[in-house]
Chain A
Amino acid sequence: GAVVSQHPSRVICKSGTSVKIECRSLDFQATTMFWYRQFPKQSLMLMATSNEGSKATYEQGVEKDKFLINHASLTLSTLTVTSAHPEDSSFYICSAIGQGDNQPQHFGDGTRLSIL
Chain B
Amino acid sequence: GENVEQHPSTLSVQEGDSAVIKCTYSDSASNYFPWYKQELGKRPQLIIDIRSNVGEKKDQRIAVTLNKTAKHFSLHITETQPEDSAVYFCAAPSWGKFQFGAGTQVVVTP
How many interface contacts (CB-CB < 8 Å) are there between A and B?
47
State the main secondary structure of chain B at its contact with A. Answer: strand
Least Cβ–Cβ distance between B11 and chain A, in angstroms: 15
B32 to A109, Cβ gap below 8 A?
no
A11 to B101, CA, bound (A): 28
Q: Given the interface contacts A34-B97, A49-B96, A104-B34, does A43 sit within 8 Å of B102 by beta carbon?
A: yes
A109 to B36, CA, bound (A): 14
| Chain B residues within 8 Å of A, Cβ to Cβ | 31-32, 34, 36, 41-46, 49, 51, 89, 91, 93, 96-103, 105
A106 to B100, CA, bound (A): 14
What are the interface flags for A39-58 relative to B under an 8 Å C-beta threshold, 1 for contact and 0 otherwise?
Answer: 00111101001000000000
A111 to B89, CA, bound (A): 19
The one of A34, A42, A102 that contacts B103, using a Cβ cutoff of 8 Å: A42
